[in-house]
A and B are shown apart, each in its own frame.
Chain A
Amino acid sequence: MKAALPLLALATLLASCQREDREYRANPVTAESQEKIALSPLSAGPSPPAEVRTGMGKNYEENAFHVAQGKKLYIWFNCNGCHANGGGGSGPPLMDDRWSYGGQIENIVQTIREGRPNGMPSFRGRIPDDQIWQIASYVRSMGRNVSKDVAPGRNDDMHPAPAELRRPPGSVVDGGQIPPSAQMPQ
């Protein structure tokens, strides 16, 4: 029993071999995903619309690499031109919880690929399918809809103030109980 303990401890180290999979090379033969997404949540009859969600969205949403790629592509393909950094502009905001056409990743993929009325262009044939999934997973991360260890950090230039290290040195004031940083703004 006593010999087994260190062995067990060593064996737990093996768990660290688990590494997130980065898929650089999407399958070029894969056609569009097989998702069948209804445009409206309403349906005739008692049941909701018949939809097909294959669950492949999970591969993207739960993968930090894909979400980070999506963040880069979001800027590259000028999504921020209308949606800003998620706060919205001429396009609707993406970081709130209001989704005109559904907030699940399959719906967002469909929105990007097919476009939507009143301004959202269709990117079918313009952005490869796997990159659309990456962008959609990043859009999901804006509203904190993906887990925190996957969501990418905020850009340095988006912070309200420079990092403490980069601020100019403050002046030293002798005496008093309230440090200058806590005093009323002049």
Chain B
Amino acid sequence: MKRIAPVLLLVLPLAGCQGWQSALDAHGPAARTLADMFWIFTAVLGTVWVLTMGALLLALRKRRVAGTDPLATDPATERRMTIVVSTAIGLTFLTVVALTGISYGGQRALYGHRDGAISLLVTGRQWWWQVTYEDPQTNRVFTTANEIHIPVGEPVLIKLESVDVIHSFWVPNLTGKMDAITGRQNQIVLQADRPGVYRGQCAEYCGLQHAHMGVLVIAEPKEEFERWRNRQIASAQPPSDPERQRGMEIFMSKPCVMCHQIRGTDAGGKIAPDLTHVGSRRYIAAGTLETTRGNIAAWIVDPHGVKPGVQMPTIQLEPDEVQPLASYLEGLK
């Protein structure tokens, strides 16, 4: 049993190779390049390590024959050793050059400029992602948050900016990391080969809630993506049932409107996530809570209980105002 424990511990990291948010489970060309590079480096360097350790062990175990003169030279041995050492040096040089070449090729593949048919402006904010879908037709430009939909098999250009501190955009299953830096724009291409939901995460420590700064990338077939985009472009539908109508009145009369936008209403704040279709997103608070009425209510009542230090303030609500408000927001599909 005692022997098994260390082995089990060694096996444990292998669990990271599969699935949800793993760089080794590649679902896009960029991630595949990175995963391939990881395995090539691991294999080559692992072999080198094993060979080196083998040679060291051999040297340690080999005993000099007793009674011989340690300083005596033997031309045959000298020649053999010269050949062995030169070959080893040559191979080392070759390995370094080959790995550098592979790394360079990988960089070119990753960061070569490509124009995507779709381009997104993704702005890192403390602690969520603002996503703007660009379009030559200005009335088709829209803003959402923390959830990116992309069509399968198409390269999508992500333009990264930041408004407060440095963040880093990382969707391990699809691509490598890219920093979002204030005052400049970085670009990265996102492409998914298979439909699916891929989780991303801020990869540069950015403050208290860095760990709760997730992003979801949803790859779906082209028609479905277009349907989603058209729904997102549309303004929010005014609610029809009385409870949600009351919720809307509460939203408009509270501090919510200072920061949040709901297109199609008077709420026009631009410093917090756009809530026009918040009910259609899978998570709220940047991948922290699933979008359910209960979670929305919990979040509104005490955001700092869920994400301590978050920018959303605790607002004063009467007990009977929470339910209609959550119900209104949940219904913004």
Residues of A within 8 A of B (CB): 24-28, 31, 76-77, 125-131
Interface 1/0s, chain B 297-333, versus A by CB < 8 A?
0000110110011100111100000000000000000
Closest to B305 in A: A25
Q: Decide yes or no: A28 and B271 within 8 Å by CB, A125-B253, A126-B258, A127-B258 being known contacts.
A: no
Residues of chain A lying within 8 A (CB to CB) of residue B254: 125
Query: Which of chain B's residues have a CB closer than 8 A to the CB of A24?
Result: 304, 308-310
The 5 closest A-B pairs by CB, nearest first: A25-B304, A28-B314, A128-B313, A24-B309, A76-B271
* Residues A28 and B316 in contact, CB atoms below 8 Å apart: yes
Kindly state whether residue B101 has any CB partner on chain A within 8 Å: no
Shortest beta-carbon distance, A49 to chain B, in Å?
Answer: 29
CA distance A128 to B313 in the complex (A): 7
B259 interface neighbour in A26, A31, A76, A129, Cβ under 8 Å = A76
- Residues on B with C-beta less than 8 A from A125 are 253-255
Say whether, besides A25-B314, A26-B314, A126 and B255 are in contact (CB < 8 Å): yes
CB-CB contacts below 8 Å: B254-284 with A: 254-255, 257-259, 271
Q: Which residues of chain A are near B304, meaning CB under 8 Å?
A: 24-25
Q: How far is the CA of A28 from the CA of B254 in the complex (A)?
A: 14
Contact partners of B257 in chain A: CB under 8 A = 126
Query: What residues of chain A lie closer than 8 Å to B271, measured between beta carbons?
Result: 76
**B315 cross-chain contacts in A, Cβ below 8 A:** 28, 128
Using a Cβ–Cβ cut-off of 8 Å, how many residues does chain B contribute to the interface with A? Answer: 18
A27 to B310, CA, bound (A): 15
Q: Which residues of B contact A (CB under 8 A)?
A: 253-255, 257-259, 271, 301-302, 304-305, 308-310, 313-316
- Separation of A31 and B317 alpha carbons in the complex (Å): 11
Q: State A4–B316 Cα separation when bound (angstroms).
A: 54
Give Cα A24–Cα B312 distance, bound, in whole angstroms. Answer: 10
How far is the CB of B164 from the nearest CB of chain A, in Å?
A: 9
Q: Are A130 and B258 in contact (CB under 8 A)?
A: no
Q: Are B253 and A131 in contact (CB under 8 A)?
A: no
A31 to B304, CA, bound (A): 18
Shortest C-beta distance, B298 to chain A (Å), equals 13
Q: How far is A64 from B192 in the complex, measured between Cα atoms in Å?
A: 46
**20 CB-based A-B contacts, threshold 8 Å:** A24-B308, A25-B304, A25-B305, A25-B308, A25-B314, A26-B313, A28-B301, A28-B302, A28-B314, A28-B315, A28-B316, A76-B258, A76-B271, A77-B258, A126-B255, A126-B257, A127-B258, A128-B313, A128-B315, A129-B316
Give the residues in chain B near A129, CB-CB below 8 Å. 316
Chain B hits for A126, CB < 8 A: 255, 257-258
Residues of A within 8 A of B316 (CB): 28, 31, 128-129
How far is the CB of B215 from the nearest CB of chain A, in Å?
23
Q: In the complex, what's the smallest C-beta–C-beta distance from B305 to chain A, in angstroms?
A: 8
Bound-complex Cα distance A76 to B257 (A): 12
Bound together, the chains give a CA A131 to CA B313 distance in angstroms of 8
- B307 nearest in chain A by CB position: A24
Having A76-B258, A126-B257, A128-B316, one finds 15 other A-B pairs with CB under 8 Å, namely: A24-B304, A24-B308, A24-B310, A25-B305, A26-B314, A27-B314, A28-B301, A28-B315, A28-B316, A125-B254, A126-B258, A127-B255, A127-B258, A128-B315, A130-B313
